Amino acid sequence: MLTRAVPGADARGARLGRVPARPGRATLPRGASMTRRTVTAGLALVVLAGSAVGTPASAAPVVPDVPDAQTRALGAADRVAATALGAGPDEVYRRGLVTPWVDGLHSVAYERTYRGLPVVGGDATVLTDGNGSVRASAKASGVTVRIGTAPAVTGEAAEATARRELARVDAVESRSLVVKLTGDTPKLAWQTVLGGATAEGESHLTVWVDAVTGTVLDRHDDVEHGTGTSQWNGPSPLAITTSQSGGRYLLKDTTRPGLQCADYSTGQVFSKTTDTWGTGNATSKETGCVDVMWAAQKEFDMLKNWLGRNGHTGSGGSWPARVGYNTTNAYWNGSSVTIGRNSAGQWIGAMDVVGHEYGHGLDQFTPGGANGEAGLGEGTGDIFGALTEAYANEPAPYDTPGDYLVGEKVNLTGNGPIRNMYNPSLVNNHPNCYSASIPSTEVHAAAGPLNHWFYLLAEGSNPGGGKPVSPTCDSSSVTGIGIQAAGKVFYGGMLLKTSGMTYKRYRTATLTAAKNLDATCNLYNRTKAAWNAVSVPAQTADPTCTAFARGSTVDSIGAVDSIGAVDVLGGASAQAAPNVDVAKVQAHLTQFNALATQNGGNRRAGSAGYTASVAYLKGKLQAAGFTVAEQTCTSCNYRSNNLIADWPGGDTSQTVMFGAHLDSVSAGPGINDNASGSAVLLENALQLAAANPAMAKHVRFAWWTDEESGLLGSRFYVNSLTSAQRTAIKAYYNFDMVGSRNAGYFINNISTAVSAPMKAYWDSLGLAPEENVEGAGRSDDYSFKNAGIPSSGYATGASARKTSAQAAKWGGTAGAAYDACYHSSCDTTANINATALDRTADGVAHTIWAQAVSSGGGTTCTPAELVVNGGFESGTTPWTLSTGVRDSSTSQAPRTGTWKAWLNGSGSANTESAAQTVTIPAGCTGAVLTYWAHVDTAETGTRVYDRLTVTVGGTSVATLSNVDAAAGFTQRTVPVGQFAGQTVALKFTGVEDASLQTSFVLDDISLRSA
């Protein structure tokens, strides 16, 4: 990106002041001279992470702003949460964790609130697919909350009670009022989170104290204490991923953000001047950290490559570890792993121990958290340890796969392994079979039935090949499905967890997962046989499996009764965009770094390093089937070539371009600036070629030269186009610096229609991206924008500094530059944030598919505005409006022009609407509804009294309420491509109760086909 700053446009519109709301609720009659009160507020409707789904009959499910398969998945889940989960009066389900899985499946978790208070133990999970079909739902409790919310016990008194649960309190992290479900009995409680220690060791404890009686209702410790082995992995030397900073190497893996290993005593990440680690002696903490890094990296890769999870966190990240805890133990504390020693003083960083402890993290960071029945947490850890061993596939004498023993390589107490998965009773007579006594059994012993089930599912009761025979509790013979498939089934069950998980619920959850993974029912039948073989009985909520019809019914788990058929979004669905493997993008970065190193240390335009970079791209693209051309920039400061690659197919009169500058500054290899954008585009091009979908529009990729001298390469290209060629380019997307270490998430021209699919994807990740103010006019999109071509793009920041608010939203370091190595020699492969890179790469794929890939049948779509008179400036035609809705008064100003639609605002019970009929042509599955809304209310608090519902063809697609009030207009964007090929009524309906006013003011309504 250019160093030159270009001033941005002035902010549009003045912020209105807020008039204090009148206390209490009183009727405000509609007057003759002023029919609506002026209590200024505005709109802030969250429709992605954290979105609320109301419970009244008139409440509409919220459809997230993602014009792709994830839209349909989340929209279907929201409809279930709004209707079928059955929340009571004053209860709301708010969408939380969204976990994409295999085959387009999405696990969507919901947290319940009651009168604004979190309901602990009232969560739910819905499994949907990219077609908008609901596959299953789970609900932790079916009880309806009806209690008072005024505490009799003060928060300070409850905190004092909670502190007595620990031997030592180091910090009180939070205290809040909640509703706690204990045995399906709702009670008002104070929830206090403490850091400190018990008599056994470190603790991260949550305590719930009854807010009426002051007694302790429940407690949960995030610290999961385990034991394990201390063996070396091998064969040596192990190839572990490290990083470099300031001339020193660190045991910190920037490709798996968050993964690092530190000395327990000092808290310092291990560092040295060489990249050779460990002594081969397990009493060395550094050696222990080598073992931890190796095992954690293998587990991370196993999760991605075997189970379809994006790393440990599910969003591309991992967690830190410490080695040197001077106790025969290892544990997970809710945010990190700590490794202790065995009786011989060896640090126990073995594959199964590390996999087990990180498995506790996976349990916590999947729906429902880690607070289930005794044994489930420890069994989960053991299963992930076994999966990691199998994936690493180390040779003897190291931690070889297939033994299904835990701690077999070290003798902590002289009794061999600490757990046995194929026959748990061989270790301390741990139970093989489930019984009513399991919930009260010590947690490590209680893992026996779950470990036994997993072995039977993976290997069977008599697998042969030297693997041990496993007895069954019902004397049956069980056939295994292989450990990878068993891992997928178990992880699928985890994605349907709710709080208070039990063995019986896990049976139902894994059967549901197996059914959704395999339409032949083979996985389902074998999963069922394995549960029967460990005596976990059939449940009424268990799904059946015959010939599975996708999207036909909802399976229910736990406390939910059968829900029955659920409508799904109509219309043809486009082929899903691929999940771009960030490791492949990083491999391109490594190549660009090597080309710079081999050619004078940089890839400046006109240099040998630049020419080699062009050749690398060209070879990859030609091999993939692109039509590739080099264009010599004769007006550039450094004469060199742009590279243009066209993918065959699609309407060339509707071309969508994706570009990035390929050159670096002379100071260094330019890996973030801008090999990152170049590599993201290259891998997306290769993924497009590999998928070879039917194209509705033509896609062209471009890599520009001499951007660093002033956007010269892209300017030369745009100036070389004829008028017809410029007109054919319907959108240009630019990617410049998309892997910044201290990443922000910015979009060029964020409020424009062309940016909608990019914004929608990042919104779906909960990123809440911002306008790219720093980059305005400083990269190649500016060349296209100046030519009148709609443009947008992603960026993660350059030399500007991250604000405190941004650090709170995105993580990272407030006050530090987004890229501390901007235009410097340190801009190498070590200067890349893999998470930001991954998010960009996937966002590009979603944009390509949303903008250019056909939805099927070869039907194309001509972009057009479908709403007439969206600003209400040309009278009422063709709108159908309630009396007085079209308004030009100054008490509620329009966004633009003189007129707007003003619904409600009288403070009396009334319903008003604005509607018009639109036809969305067939093939326009990327159609997007955009409207500007301002919500102004005299209501207070978080309870919904007044509501605006947006419907298309009678289907609710968005809602606003008095709770969404804020100053000024806010643009809202809703995908409506599911209605392609239909003539539908677009309608905005406001419903106001008989008390304080809420005004819903609408302007500049647009529905564009795409």
Which residues are identified as catalytic? 357, 444
Cβ–Cβ < 8 Å for 36, 912: no
Eight-class DSSP state of 42: B
Output the CA–CA distances (angstroms, integers) from residue 41 to 314, 457, 621, 757, 968, in the order listed.
37, 57, 52, 28, 7
Q: Using CA atoms, how far apart are residues 971 and 931, in angstroms rounded to an integer?
A: 6
Q: How far is CA 478 from the centre of its chain?
A: 37
For residue 119, the surrounding DSSP H or E stretch is strand 117-120
Eight-class DSSP state of 102: G
Q: Say how many Å lie between the first and final Cα of the chain, rounded.
A: 31
Place of tokens 């994706």: 658
DSSP letter string over 540-591? TTPPP-SS--TTS--EEEETPPP--------SPPPPPPP---HHHHHHHHHH
Measured from the Cβ of residue 268, the count of other Cβ atoms closer than 10 Å reads 10
Q: Judging by beta carbons within 10 Å of its beta carbon (0-12, 13-18, 19+), is residue 590 exposed, middle or buried?
A: middle
Q: Collapse the DSSP code of 289 into the 3-class scheme (helix H, G, I; strand E, B; otherwise coil) and give the result.
A: helix
242 CB-near residues (< 8 Å, 6+ apart): 249, 250, 251, 252, 253, 275, 277, 293
Q: Which two tokens stand for residue 892?
A: 């509620």
Q: Which two tokens stand for residue 491?
A: 């992880």
Cβ–Cβ < 8 Å for 206, 193: yes
Eight-class DSSP state of 695: B
Q: Which two tokens stand for residue 565?
A: 């058929």
Q: Using CA atoms, how far apart are residues 570 and 369, in angstroms rounded to an integer?
A: 34
Q: Which two tokens stand for residue 761?
A: 């994807």
Q: Which two tokens stand for residue 521?
A: 């029912």
Listed residue (65, 69, 149) closest to 104, CA to CA: 69
Q: Using CA atoms, how far apart are residues 786 and 779, in angstroms rounded to an integer?
A: 12
For the chain, how many helices (H) and strands (E)? Answer: 18, 41
Question: Which is it for strands 729-735 and 791-795: parallel, antiparallel or unpaired?
Answer: parallel
Q: Using CA atoms, how far apart are residues 327 and 341, in angstroms rounded to an integer?
A: 6
For residue 483, the surrounding DSSP H or E stretch is helix 483-494
Q: Judging by beta carbons within 10 Å of its beta carbon (0-12, 13-18, 19+), is residue 565 exposed, middle or buried?
A: exposed
